[in-house]
Structure 1
Amino acid sequence: MDVLIQKLHPGLRLGQQLALADSGAPLFSRQGDWAGGSTLHCTAMALALLGKLSNPVQVWRHADGPEATFWDRAWPQYLHGQTLSELASFIWELNIGVRPVTAEGRPAAVLCFCARELARGWPVVVGWRSQHPQPAHAALAVGVEGRRRAQGFSPHALVAA
């Protein structure tokens, strides 16, 4: 029997709004809240899924703690955004025990990479280039959708926040 399945990151709580499983705090903030910083916006959500931030929606409102540290480093890129290589450097420089891994390739290869990383419990920031003025656009992959067949699971799409 061919069944469609969505496998989501274990740090999520489903409902009308995606939330962090541990705290119930909202995960998703509208990109308009972050101006041109879709890479930063996705990174804050990914760090929240990893337990490194408790409030990815309003990091700028914290006077201290990990949210304040994140925002202090993020705000200079707030309006102009980051390239994907700049994002990897940004994550390294946060020095919070998260190691960025990058992968490029054809869509099928990127999908397999994302499915593998999500299965290991790692959120994935997926980026792409476009003709717009922003250096890169990004979305947070929080799951994969695919078909379950007798021989196993075959992913065919990402579930993004």
Structure 2
Amino acid sequence: MHSLVRPGAHLGATRSKFAVHSQQSALDSLCALHCVAMLLQIVGLIADPSKIATRRRRPEATLWRKTAEVFAQGMTFRELAAFIAELDRGLRVKLLEQGSHREAVAFVMRELAKGRLVICSVREVGDSQNHAVLAIGVEGVQHARQFEARTLLILDPAEGPPAAMATCNARLDYSMRKPGEMSRYARYTTASGTFPVVLNGAVSIEMDEPDKPP
């Protein structure tokens, strides 16, 4: 679990009294911006993602203006990385665009291990639509002194607030079927079901010192 995320009855951030979850509707293509809103709350740059429409300060106002531009068509991950960098809030981004599933899993794991939050692009097997989710930690098993990570802990804006899963509202299990062999897809589990997905892109975000939210 990322050090700035606070487990509890309502998953929160160490720098905010509000729950960490930004809910996407079924009518928009704003999953990437919902992930940005949750990320900005976790690192202490905004207080409450649900209030950005009423705020006039940056970066809330910038984020709200951007929603009008991409409401229907969404964003590419290259556009997402550029938008985060242009917020000019000391956030450094690293982009993996359109990588293979194996490449994307390796990238996300490396970045999480460095203490960074990662917005991931996932696609259900058999579907052409990509969906942005926020990876906030890993889950796995301990063998003596060796920790084997197997699952990404996810905040998915298209799902309801974390409740049944406590520390997340989705899990992406990429565990290997055989030692030394990576599966071609992952099992994605939410409160409503389990289905196969591929991870095909990611943007990691690093910030040295989180600010106190306004």
TM-score (norm 2): 0.63
**AA of the residue aligned to 1:92:** A
Q: Quick one: structure 1 residues 74 and 95, their matched pair in 2 at CA, closer, same or farther if it must change by over 3 Å?
A: farther
Deviation at 1:70, TM superposition (A): 2.2
Post-superposition CA distance 1:12-71 (Å, at most 9, x none): 111232111222212102111882110111111112222222222331121223211222
Structure 2: runs of 5 or more not aligned? 156-214
Moved over 4 A (4+): none
Match of 2:49 among 47, 56, 60: 56
Structure (1/2) with the larger strand percentage:
2
Is contact 1:115-1:143 (8 Å) kept? no
Once structures 1 and 2 are overlaid, which stretch shifts more, 100-109 or 76-85?
Answer: 100-109
CA–CA separation in structure 2 for the residues paired with 1:146 and 1:110: 18
1:94 aligns with 2:91: no
Once structures 1 and 2 are overlaid, which stretch shifts more, 106-115 or 80-89?
Answer: 106-115
Q: What is the Cα-based RMSD across aligned positions, in Å?
A: 2.2
Q: Number of residue pairs matched?
A: 151
Structure 1: runs of 5 or more not aligned? 1-7
Match of 1:80 in 2: 73
Match of 2:187 in 1: none
Match of 2:29 in 1: 36
Q: Quick one: structure 1 residues 146 and 107, their matched pair in 2 at CA, closer, same or farther if it must change by over 3 Å?
A: farther
1:155 aligns with 2:149: yes
Alignment of 1:1-161 (within 5 A): 8-32=1-25, 35-103=28-96, 105-129=99-123, 130-132=127-129, 136-161=130-155
CA–CA separation in structure 1 for the residues paired with 2:104 and 2:147: 16
Is contact 1:125-1:140 (8 Å) kept? yes
TM-score (norm 1): 0.81
CA–CA separation in structure 2 for the residues paired with 1:159 and 1:13: 13
Q: Quick one: structure 1 residues 110 and 137, their matched pair in 2 at CA, closer, same or farther if it must change by over 3 Å?
A: same
CA–CA separation in structure 1 for the residues paired with 2:101 and 2:149: 12
